[in-house]
Structure 1
């Protein structure tokens, strides 16, 4: 029985499924800090992301169609989408409680997956930008001005940290493949773009100098380092979520109100 459970969890992990869902929808629509509506931080998060996106697009240093070449901008788009679904969950669950008999509603599941991806990716973008790109020999300005630079590569993590610290639902080790698959999709995109003859706005045949597929060995090593870093960051997110629950008593509250469901994602 134990081996069967391990095998099932391994399958859930490899397929990036949410697995056996024991959470209720209301956990995604409230704060772990008492009677605080998630709208109080998810709406400002969305407004911030929309404003930064508008400024970034209108002041982009290259053709507008190249805006989505960069992981930073993918991460920004995910903050927008994650915030929208977070707002939908908060509003829907406040106005009309869903029936837990059939598991989580689809929009809650989508929000949870977006949450699992967006937070660690935002943290990784910040770490890699300041720790790798800004210290490499080929320094490129990836933002129109220093203020937007900090917004895209620093405040992005603070915004997602607020989401993590104030939310009431958990981050599970089982879901680690969700952000990894997202990163894998971006990596595949860079490979296809390279072999299609794509260039960055400055005419270079790469998107990032650290992902130059003319140097496949070096780039493959960087990809592995990025993947390992993302796993470490995700583990940090899980740990921060556990500390949050311990400090707020959210874990005990979740255990008492939990309705068990065996519905996989």
Structure 2
């Protein structure tokens, strides 16, 4: 009965939008029992610094290996870590704004910067998981940048997901099933870029006419199959993120309730 009620509530047209009645859910951690923005502010500061450091390290290391800074921008991994950095920057900025200026007024709906953070969150978390799974499953064996440091490889294709997972399990705002299109939109944007890059005569740093071996537009049949598979994978991963957020909410609400009861009885 609870599952049926959940799906009935989720599959409403209004849930395609970025609206939520409880603004503090965007700057209070789900595991904290007080109303202070400081705990989540501190964690978000660490995650923000970490994601920015990954982008900077990737830029420094890969730009040298790829012979040109321009090649850095063509890979989905770099798009992904940039999205992670932007998401964590907005998350930190929201917490910092509340710390410095007090609660956010949402009398006329969520402010634009919270909506933008929410969109980035919905797009970047499933995409980070997708990049990690896709790289270590399909790309690692046949796609190699000569001289790439193993540590940088792990941070770009592994720690990227860890930082977003930490952002996910400490947040309190909801993840809606109908927001699946945010991650898909991110994927479509990269797809359009790869098409334009190919038809404009773009090459990778080794002179190949493709960015990734399985994204070779000179052989459209298998490439389209890969694109469809990735789109389906992103929707599935968004569903997984939604499930994780539901589990997070369930256990964190029990944790907060038990701790409040303990405080009262103590």
TM-score range, shorter chain: 0.7 to 0.9
Which secondary structure does the structure 2 equivalent of 1:102 belong to?
Answer: coil
Determine which of 208, 219, 229 is the counterpart of 1:204: 208
Check 1:156–1:143 CA distance in 2 against 1; reply closer, same or farther (3 A cut).
farther
Structure 2 counterpart of 1:24 = 22
Q: Alignment partner for residue 131 of structure 1, among 137, 141, 153?
A: 137
- SS of 1:30's partner is coil
Secondary structure of the residue that 2:128 maps to in structure 1?
A: helix
Q: Does 1:102 align with 2:102?
A: no
Pairing 1:238–2:236 present: no
- Select the structure with the greater relative contact order (CA < 8 A; seq sep ≥ 6): 1
Match for residue 73 of structure 1? 78
1:184-203 Cα offsets, whole Å, 9 max, x none, are 01001001100000001111
Q: Which residue of 1 aligns with 2:39?
A: 37
SS in 2 for 1:37: helix
Answer whether contact 2:126 2:241 (CA < 8 A) is retained. yes
Q: Aligned partners of 2:152, 2:238: CA distance in 1, in Å?
A: 26
Q: Output one character per residue of 1:192-247: Cα deviation in whole Å (capped at 9) or x when no partner.
A: 10000000111110000010001100000000000011111000000000000000
For residues 170 and 92 of structure 2, what CA distance do their matches in structure 1 show?
14
TM-score (norm 2): 0.84
Structure 2: stretches of 5+ with no match in the other structure: 1-7, 258-266
> Any gaps of 5 or more consecutive residues in structure 1?
254-265
CA displacement, residues 56-99 of structure 1 (integer Å, 9 cap, x when unaligned): 11221211111110111011111111111111111222332122
Partners in 2 of 1:250 and 1:71 — Cα distance? 39
Summarize the Cα distance change of 1:10–1:23 in structure 2 as closer, same or farther, 3 Å threshold: closer
Identify the match of residue 222 of structure 1 among 213, 218, 226: 226
Return structure 1 stretches of 4+ with deviation > 4 angstroms.
8-12, 250-253
> In structure 2, do the counterparts of structure 1 residues 78 and 130 end up closer, same or farther at CA, with 3 Å as the change threshold?
same
RMSD, matched Cα: 2.3
After TM superposition, give the deviation of residue 129 of structure 1 in Å.
Answer: 0.3
TM-score with structure 1 length normalisation? 0.85
Aligned to 1:171: 175
Task: Number of aligned residue pairs: give it.
Answer: 241
Is residue 184–residue 235 contact of structure 2 (8 Å, CA) maintained in 1? yes
